[in-house]
Amino acid sequence: MLIGRVVGDVVATQKHASHEGQKLLLVQPLELDGSNRGVPVVAVDSADAGVGDRVLLVMEGFSAMTSVGRPESPIDFAVLGVIDQVELFS
């Protein structure tokens, strides 16, 4: 799992049938210090997240597909939850 920040919504007029009715988000993965980690990714939203929210992002096809209840769907990333707070202990 990764921490990410929602940076936008994705609108697709043509998409795989298994994605019908699914909300798509553009999510920027983050390092633990809050800096960007790589490039933004498109993720299926299962947590009703919005732009600016910090989220839990699962990557890897099988985990992403099953976490949103679509085990046969071509999904690489999914938003599983909205993060309220992060505490790091050393």
Rounded CA separation 61/53 (Å): 23
Nearest to 3 by CA among 38, 48, 62: 38
Q: Sketch out the chain's domains with CATH numbers.
A: 2-82 (2.40.50.220)
Tell me what pLDDT residue 53 has.
97
Average pLDDT of span 60-81:
71
* 54, pLDDT greater than 90: yes
Q: Is the dihedral of CA 42, 85, 48, 59 positive or negative?
A: positive
Compute the distance between CA of residue 86 and CA of residue 53 in angstroms, rounded to an integer.
Answer: 13
Instruction: Flag whether pLDDT at 15 surpasses 70.
Output: yes
For 20, 23, 82, the CA distances from 1, given in Å and listed in that order, are 25, 20, 13
Question: pLDDT tens digits, residue range 42-52?
Answer: 998 989 999 99
